Structure 1
């Protein structure tokens, strides 16, 4: 029964359009009842063509997603094996760069692509600096 919950409909009513947002826009436009699911940056770049879904009256914005007020979002996880730090040259430095304020902060380039900065970014930065295993004592 669980497998049935994960299956995508095959009757044409639900279509998975992998990465082709032009086709997604065309299909939504062709069907007045059509719904599309995509990232915040895509919506922000197409506000003239799309009407956003609200949740309990809350619109998705960088602020409402970061605060958790808009609940339909998902985190991006970036995994690094602690055992590889010091073995793979530059791994820790790469992880620190990826979560730095300059890259992952609210004004960093990741935010320009719709990746909302984590309000607890400083805590994550400290855990990486201390090489603390995530989830162990969070």
Structure 2
């Protein structure tokens, strides 16, 4: 699956959602030339699932996947879970207002490839969070953003 050359602004919770039902696997996703402007504004009090509690984000395999299923997720840009093979190239994320959450959370994802990722200047270190995830390749700029958690 390839998603290429899109610009999204002023989205509520879900700019791009690729979801499966009944525990089906999602594989070989490619996102290229993507620009997303997120409203931001999440505070520690309103984000229900912090990065330190990623293991507690519910699975809900029997529920139909809707962007409202888990309320506020632990990232402001991309929350990726249970994917085999995802490539992101030339992805630009911007915030209209500050947000305490990281830009990317990869939770139990294999074969992640990241290149030419652009984030706000004040959002660099720790903005790519990996939990039980294999980062297959990343350019040097992206490696500066990476933080691994349990």
Bin the TM-score by the shorter chain: under 0.3
Greater helix content:
1
Please say which structure displays the higher CA radius of gyration: 1
- Normalised to the residue count of structure 1, the TM-score between the two structures is 0.24
TM-score with structure 2 setting the length: 0.23
